[in-house]
Amino acid sequence: MKAKNLCITAGLCAGVASVAIAGDKPQLQKLDNAIEVTPQRIAKVRYENGTARIVSDWSDYNGGVSRAADVRVFDCFGDNDSDGFMDDTGGCFTASTSRWYFGTAYCNMFTTADHTVEDGTDLNAGFARVDFAWQWTCAGFGTETCLVAVFTQDSVPCELDSLDYSGWILDFGTLSCNPGGYYYTNVSLSTGTWPIPTGGTGSHILLYAQSATTSGALVLATCAQTMLWGTEYGGDNQKGTQVTEQFDDDLTVDGNHTTSECYTYSFGLCPDPLGAMVQFWGEAGTDPCDYANYNGDSTINTQDFLAFLNSWNNGEAMANCNGDSTVNTQDFLCFLNIWNACR
């Protein structure tokens, strides 16, 4: 794939440059300790003509809601059992929480990675939840306010970028720098979604900031980077796919991407390729048999019944088969009827 110039100003989209090779990056390292954090508040954000800006008032984040229909539709996070935590079913590392990054000296506060959602995803429903992980270096010591903006768009790295997309920004408050691990979060939206790109293939963008100006323009964090994983991690419940290219703002750190900042992420490691560690949740299509295929392996059998039973016993929102917001015996009977009809 070739990387095209970004259309920052009308008429300046003519050049083409080769994708940068893996050797242009620092040595990849393993980081083990996963530290969960939850945003304190949330707002709408827009990226337009090279500037990310908050475009709404902040609202308190109260944990969002687990919508009954929410299912994993893209997993570059390694959540094979759908519990919002890291697994390593493919045996890439000894510890399930181990993930790749480029070391604490590397800074990349603006990343664009691609995704193709799982077949059968309701493309009109949007992404209602995102899980992601990042290394928060900042000044290397002390603390820094952590704001993370998440966007989606139709284009993929390193194709022509509209530089015009909307999303949500999350305020995690003050976080410790270099905390002896990496931070991760599971964020569900109470209202609204991230749009799913047309046809189910597009990209997601993460921007790490430390503050905003009086006009709402985001000020980049001192130093941060998204942790890395892949969709081909060897699990039996992988969701979605990715390609090898990713945009990183690491040559001229300015909150923009240039043609020289498009990289291939095929490093020959496990998993391969790597990509920004992100997972999206959406809704399955309207075919009831999609729900009967509870473990997502495309075959409806006893394993789906057992997967549902475990989910139902744990009171998980996905087990709310009849959509009444309460997981009880009626949901068990609802699933049993669908499962029997679809086998």
Pair (308, 225) in one structural domain: no
Pair (336, 247) in one structural domain: no
> Alpha-carbon distance 318 to 110, whole Å?
33
Domain end marker among 262, 282, 302? 282
Instruction: Specify the pLDDT at position 236.
Output: 83
Q: What is the pLDDT of residues 36-79, one digit of tens each?
A: 999 999 999 999 888 999 999 999 998 766 555 588 999 999 99
pLDDT at 325 > cutoff 90 = no
From 2-16, 181-195, 214-228, 325-339, the region with the lowest mean pLDDT: 2-16
* Complete DSSP assignment for 66-125: --TTEEEEEESS--TTSSSS---TT-SSSSTT-EEE--TT----EEEEEEEPPTTB-TTT
Pair (132, 237) in one structural domain: yes
Give the pairing type, strands 41-48 and 51-54: antiparallel
Eight-state DSSP code of residue 281: E
Pair (10, 140) in one structural domain: yes
Q: Are 221 and 208 in contact (CB under 8 A)?
A: yes
Helix/strand/coil percent split, the chain, to 5: 15, 35, 50
Q: Are 343 and 301 in contact (CB under 8 A)?
A: yes
- β-bridge partners, 215: none
- β-bridge partners, 205: 112, 151
Pair (44, 120) in one structural domain: yes
Q: What is the pLDDT of residues 260-272, one digit of tens each?
A: 899 999 999 999 9
Pair (268, 321) in one structural domain: no
Token pair in block for residue 191: 């209202």
> Alpha-carbon distance 101 to 30, whole Å?
6
Q: Are 231 and 241 in contact (CB under 8 A)?
A: yes
- Residue 12: pLDDT band (50, 70, 90) is very low
Q: Which residue has the higher pLDDT, 132 or 165?
A: 132
Region 171-200: what's the mean pLDDT? 95
Q: Is 83 left (phi over 0), alpha (psi -120 to 50) or beta?
A: alpha
Q: What is the pLDDT of residues 230-284, one digit of tens each?
A: 999 888 889 999 999 999 999 989 988 888 899 999 999 999 999 999 999 998 8
Q: Are 175 and 203 in contact (CB under 8 A)?
A: no
> Containing H/E element for 283?
strand 278-283
Pair (172, 250) in one structural domain: yes
pLDDT at 13 > cutoff 50 = no
Q: Are 273 and 267 in contact (CB under 8 A)?
A: yes
Domain end marker among 282, 299, 315? 282
Region 23-39: what's the mean pLDDT? 91
Pair (292, 265) in one structural domain: no
Instruction: Tell me how many domains the chain contains.
Output: 2
3-state secondary structure of 318: helix
> Alpha-carbon distance 316 to 293, whole Å?
16
Instruction: Specify the pLDDT at position 32.
Output: 92
Pair (221, 192) in one structural domain: yes
CA 114 to chain centre: 10
Pair (175, 309) in one structural domain: no
Q: How many helices (H) does the chain have, and how many strands (E)?
A: 3, 22
Domain end marker among 251, 282, 313? 282
Pair (134, 67) in one structural domain: yes
pLDDT at 106 > cutoff 90 = yes
Region 301-325: what's the mean pLDDT? 86
- Residue 88: pLDDT band (50, 70, 90) is confident
Q: Are 244 and 156 in contact (CB under 8 A)?
A: no
Encoded amino acid at 131, one letter: D
- Residue 96: pLDDT band (50, 70, 90) is confident
Pair (297, 253) in one structural domain: no
Segments forming the whole domain that contains residue 242: 2-282
